[in-house]
Amino acid sequence: MAKLKDLARLIRSKNAGPFMLTFDVLFDNAETYQRVRDARILSPEVISRLYHVPVERVQFYECDAARALKATIPRPVASGDLGDCDVYGGQQHGPLLELEVPEG
């Protein structure tokens, strides 16, 4: 079984303002994008579980034209606030890398 990090061209996280984090997963081709999208290894429920956020707080998008999956969640601590360990939000995508994608 392949891992998401082996199939995606780019997996990243970043701030979406000081109070939100966004995750982007982009693919080189439509076939791989559709395989991952249809496997549902990324969904509001999965993001909720991985990041300990209530599912109703997860914004999730499938962007077919861009071959991208995107999720946005509230940051656990505001960017730059006391206790923040990642001011830019650029190191939060780690849990997504090892997600297993079944054969299509």
Question: Tell me, what's the pLDDT at 49?
Answer: 97
Question: Tell me, what's the pLDDT at 52?
Answer: 97
Please give the model's pTM, rounded to 2 decimal places.
0.93
Mean pLDDT per 10-residue segment, the chain (104 residues) = 96 97 98 97 97 98 98 96 93 96 86
Question: Tell me, what's the pLDDT at 16?
Answer: 96
CA distances from 60 to 6, 11, 44, 96 (A): 22, 15, 6, 14
Question: Tell me, what's the pLDDT at 8?
Answer: 98
